[in-house]
Amino acid sequence: MRSGCPIMERPGPSDVTGSDTSGPDPQLAVTMGFTGFGKKARTFDLEAMFEQTRRTAVERSRKTLEAREKEEEMNREKELRRQTEDIEPTPSGSNVARDCSKPSSRGTSSSESEESSDSSDDELIGPPLPLKMVEEPVNHLEEDILGPLPAPLGEEAEDDDDDDGDSEEEENPVQKIPDSHEITLKHGTKTVSALGLDPSGARLVTGGYDYDVKFWDFAGMDASFKAFRSLQPCECHQIKSLQYSNTGDMILVVSGSSQAKVIDRDGFEVMECIKGDQYIVDMANTKGHTAMLHTGSWHPKIKGEFVTCSNDATVRTWEVENPKKQKSVFKPRTMQGKKVVPTTCTYSRDGNLIAAACQNGSIQIWDRNLTSVVRCLWHPKLNQIMVGTGNGLAKVYYDPNKSQRGAKLCVVKTQRKAKQAETLTQDYIITPHALPMFREPRQRSTRKQLEKDRLDPLKSHKPEPPVAGPGRGGRVGTHGGTLSSYIVKNIALDKTDDSNPREAILRHAKAAEDNPYWVSPAYSKTQPKTMFAQVESDDEETKNEPEWKKRKI
């Protein structure tokens, strides 16, 4: 062994720690150098551990109480100094107060020490009093002082003023209004009565008493602030309301007319409401407004629905897809049941209510939820509930696990599709080497085949056009197709009668002689023989005429 190195002695059997030598071979454990083949359970002295824990807790609580007492004493001294400085109005008085305050401070410190020693036992129980309750007796001094306190002096007072000013600015709602800068958009020379912004805030639309509606694009305008579009959607009617839809693709235009309009983002007309019959007394029976409109509003959830109110004392809801008739009509009434004109109207946030403000100062609200339950039925075997609602729907409620048959039978079946008419198509045989006369015509599409058949008058059964002018091809030309030709054909005709009346009468002479009835019996006695007038020639008549009647050749 080298010098300086500690000599490690092997422990003998008597030096082995632990008295537990029970095991299969204690001598082997001693030889290997460990105490045993197992571990012995450690024993704990619970009373000693509890006593140590209690002492530690008492020591910590004592230190905490001492720290609290010191902090309270320091706070009291600071408060007393501040009160004494505030009470003294003049410097001279302040010195006297300081001199007088020294013994008082000593007295107070001594009294406080006595009180703290007396009340140490009381403070051990429960948490200390709050700071506000401790300061209450000090605040009574301010109540005893007559008149206002002097303003605080020094940098602390200035800091307090700055903090108060900042807090007042933050609390003042006027400071939150963004009115530091402005731009002016030149709409026209008359009143701007309607404004509307799309949901994204990219476009502004304005309308006024000059009948114009102008579109302003903030992203597309330059410093000149010019509108990119101007139009008159309602002709010579003042614009009263403009509102973008929730999606921003349509604008509701309400003017002084009785017909509201809907235009798209670019100003093109989408729909125009129909005008009602103004001679019908009951406004619920008309299809639209009959008097001047006041305002309108879009439905918050349904895309194509909006509401309008008019001077005809009605509030009507419309759909963009059905401009020919309103969807529903609401008639505001006074407490006496008389008509009252609504001046504005709008939807609730969920769209179930419609509110209108009327000229008599009332606000009237209608519930559009017509799905109230009117009738209910339950079947014991099916275990299903049938409900009849006020909007014309019947609903069936069931549970797939608890209900039987009924609605479960038809829910699982798919909807039947209409069967298409079966058409027979002829097979097309392609024979490229066949002669042209034996080849089948190439199949064409249905549209092209119809166009070709339309050109063939026989296949299309085209009627023959009327013949113009003289007849040809075995067809006689028609005439009298116009009004003038019809008049010439039927009215402007030569109707002169060239027949001899004497011969027409003598045609019936034999029948009258054989069977006299009218004239012959009257002349049978006075003139049994018939006598006729003598025929004079034309030459004799012309000779007997005066000279001024004779025809000059």
**How many CA atoms lie less than 13 Å away from 492 in the CB half-sphere?**
7
d(CA 28, CA 34): 9
In 159-304, which ranges are E strands? 192-197, 203-208, 213-217, 229-231, 239-244, 250-255, 261-264, 269-272, 293-298
Among 312, 313, 354, CA closest to 331: 313
User: Are the beta carbons of 426 and 442 closer than 8 angstroms?
Assistant: no
- Read off the pLDDT of each residue in 419-432 and give the average, rounded to a whole number: 65
- The model's pLDDT over 457-513, given as tens digits with 9 standing for 90+, comes to 888 887 878 777 766 777 766 665 566 766 777 775 667 777 888 888 888 888 887
d(CA 321, CA 250): 13
User: Are the beta carbons of 290 and 302 closer than 8 angstroms?
Assistant: no
Which two tokens mark 78? Answer: 């600071």
Residues in the chain: 553
Average pLDDT along the chain? 77
Among 254, 264, 359, 376, CA closest to 316: 254
Counting residues of the chain whose pLDDT is more than 90, the rounded percentage is: 28
User: Are the beta carbons of 360 and 373 closer than 8 angstroms?
Assistant: no
DSSP symbols for 436-451: GGGSPPPP--HHHHHH
Q: Is the pLDDT of residue 47 over 50?
A: yes
The mean-pLDDT minimum among 31-40, 132-141, 387-396 falls in: 132-141
- The model's pLDDT over 201-233, given as tens digits with 9 standing for 90+, comes to 899 999 999 999 999 999 888 888 889 999 999
| pLDDT given at position 19 | 43
Q: Is the pLDDT of residue 304 over 80?
A: yes
- The model's pLDDT over 252-299, given as tens digits with 9 standing for 90+, comes to 999 999 999 999 998 899 999 999 998 988 888 999 999 999 999 999
User: Are the beta carbons of 250 and 267 closer than 8 angstroms?
Assistant: no
d(CA 93, CA 98): 8
d(CA 399, CA 408): 9
From the DSSP assignment, how many helices (H) and strands (E) are in the chain?
A: 13, 18
When computed from its CA atoms, the radius of gyration of the chain, rounded to whole angstroms, is 60
Q: Is the pLDDT of residue 406 over 50?
A: yes
Superfamily of domain 192-367: YVTN repeat-like/Quinoprotein amine dehydrogenase (2.130.10.10)
H or E element at residue 32: helix 26-32
What band does 116 get if pLDDT is binned at 50, 70 and 90? very low
CA angle 151, 155, 156 (to 5 degrees): 70
Which two tokens mark 347? Answer: 């939807």
Which two tokens mark 481? Answer: 């197709």
d(CA 271, CA 321): 8
CA distances from 3 to 6, 7, 29, 145 (A): 8, 10, 31, 92
Backbone angles phi, psi at 424, to 5 degrees: -90, 125
d(CA 491, CA 293): 59
Q: What residue segments make up the domains of the chain, in order of their start?
A: 47-144, 192-367, 373-407
Q: Coil, strand or helix: which one is 200? A: coil
